[in-house]
Structure 1
Amino acid sequence: MDRSLKAFSLLLSYPSRELQAAMPEITAVLVADSRLTALARRGLASLGEGLAAGDIYDLQETYVGLFDRSRTLSLNLFEHVHGERRDRGSAMVDLVETYREAGFEPVTGELPDHLPVLLEFLATRPAEEAKAILADAAHILTVLERRLAGRESPYAAAFVALGQLAGKVAAKETVEALLAEPEDDPQDLAALDAVWEESQVTFGPDPNAGCPQVRDMLTRMDQPARPAAASVAG
């Protein structure tokens, strides 16, 4: 298992007290990753320290304001690619099949393209495959980093580091086209209601378990990944 990708899946999850308690270990994994630059690791250390020490209600409010109330900062990756077009549904189905063919069955109420879910999956995959899939999303990672940096959010550090793991510089034209989309107003309650009305895809027997589980990292991080039933198409 790629410990860093698993740690990133936790770092970018909705803050909880359980997550706070595990944050020192999560951060330790990330700052020890030699694939990342020293500057990137310092940014991750600062983010992890803030998540570990902050008031949980403030952290949750910040997370919702960033990632749940803004489509331009959504952690549902297909939102940036397909928007509300009909082909988003078929892409979602294909992704679910990719997970299942690889023997991966997340237990979550999140959509399958939710970044923490994808990172948990990639943590179980061969290194080159995981890197290639991250590289395919390089333009989205770059846009999220730049939008978060513009808001002076410490979460930007996570996307700087993920971009380094992807090992690909996103095409400038693609990034600029995405950045040209107007920022959402998190106080626009009508738009927020529309987001909440979107249907959710549930996997497994316990839709309230959350994804990814902190206990997974603490108890299974060092266990070998389950053999894949089929390779993932990039």
Structure 2
Amino acid sequence: MPSDAVLYQAAALCLTYPDDDFVARLPLLRQAAPQLRAFTDHAALIPLQELAAHYVQVFDFKNRHSLYLSWWHDGDTRRRGVSLVRFKEVYRKHGLEFSGEELPDFLPAVLEFTARTGDTTLLTDHRAGLEQLRARLADNGTPYAGVLEAVCVTLPAAGTEVRP
């Protein structure tokens, strides 16, 4: 498993709606992904109900902090449908069928896919959107910005060609 795989899996868990399972995993996440310690330490101190309310406030009310990667490239246009098909094609290329409750471009799903396969194509192709999301989360002052920062640090700089 590539060294970044653990980070991607941990980041995926940190970016999903917090529940009792998430709280139970916090010590393991803290130990497995030290890059996320600021977030996991913060989350460990906040009551679950408050943590969940913060998640909803940050991610569910406006697209300003959208966790759907194609939204950052296509917005709410018809082109987005084509982008979503491309996400599914990349999953199929690796023998995976996307069957989640979320859309295939949901960042936690993409991070989990990347952790399992080592294929950073989807993250790299959407680096600009990830950077915008990271910056907006930082401007908002939410600890989720640190999760995006840790993921972005692992990716080539925007405009850098990726070679296999």
TM-score interval for Structure 1 and Structure 2 normalised by the shorter chain: 0.7 to 0.9
Between stretches 93-102 and 147-156, larger displacement belongs to 93-102
CA deviation string 1:124-177 (max 9, x = no partner): 223xx32x4423222112111111111111111011111111131469xxxxxx
Aligned to 1:137: 126
* Partner of residue 142 from structure 2, selected from 148, 153, 160: 153
Write the distance in 2 (CA, Å) between the matches of 1:151 and 1:164.
Answer: 20
Aligned to 1:124: 116
Write the distance in 2 (CA, Å) between the matches of 1:133 and 1:96.
Answer: 11
Alignment of 1:6-45 (within 5 A): 6-31=9-34, 41=35, 44-45=36-37
More helix by share: 2
The one-letter code sitting in structure 1 at the alignment partner of 2:147 is A
Aligned-partner SS, 1:92: helix
Aligned to 1:81: 73
The one-letter code sitting in structure 1 at the alignment partner of 2:65 is L
Write the distance in 2 (CA, Å) between the matches of 1:159 and 1:123.
Answer: 15
CA deviation string 1:96-115 (max 9, x = no partner): 12212312234521111000
Q: Residues 96, 161 of structure 1: CA spacing in aligned structure 2 closer, same or farther, 3 A cutoff?
A: same
The runs of at least 4 aligned residues of structure 1 exceeding 6 Å deviation read none
Deviation of 1:9 after TM superposition, in Å, equals 0.8
Please tell me whether the aligned partners of residues 12 and 116 of structure 1 are also in contact (alpha carbons under 8 angstroms): yes
Deviation of 1:117 after TM superposition, in Å, equals 0.2
The one-letter code sitting in structure 1 at the alignment partner of 2:127 is A
User: What's the TM-score, normalizing by structure 1?
Assistant: 0.62
Alignment of 1:50-89 (within 5 A): 50-89=42-81
Aligned-partner SS, 1:166: coil
Write the distance in 2 (CA, Å) between the matches of 1:9 and 1:86.
Answer: 27
The one-letter code sitting in structure 1 at the alignment partner of 2:90 is T
Aligned to 1:225: none
Aligned-partner SS, 2:116: coil
Write the distance in 2 (CA, Å) between the matches of 1:87 and 1:160.
Answer: 28
* CA root-mean-square deviation: 1.8
* Partner of residue 97 from structure 1, selected from 72, 89, 100: 89
Residues paired across the two proteins, number: 157
Aligned-partner SS, 1:14: coil
Structure whose CA Rg is larger = 1
Please tell me whether the aligned partners of residues 146 and 156 of structure 1 are also in contact (alpha carbons under 8 angstroms): yes
Write the distance in 1 (CA, Å) between the matches of 2:110 and 2:94.
Answer: 13
Write the distance in 1 (CA, Å) between the matches of 2:71 and 2:125.
Answer: 15
Write the distance in 1 (CA, Å) between the matches of 2:96 and 2:13.
Answer: 17
**Aligned residues with identical type, % of pairs:** 31
Please tell me whether the aligned partners of residues 12 and 109 of structure 2 are also in contact (alpha carbons under 8 angstroms): yes
The one-letter code sitting in structure 2 at the alignment partner of 1:142 is E
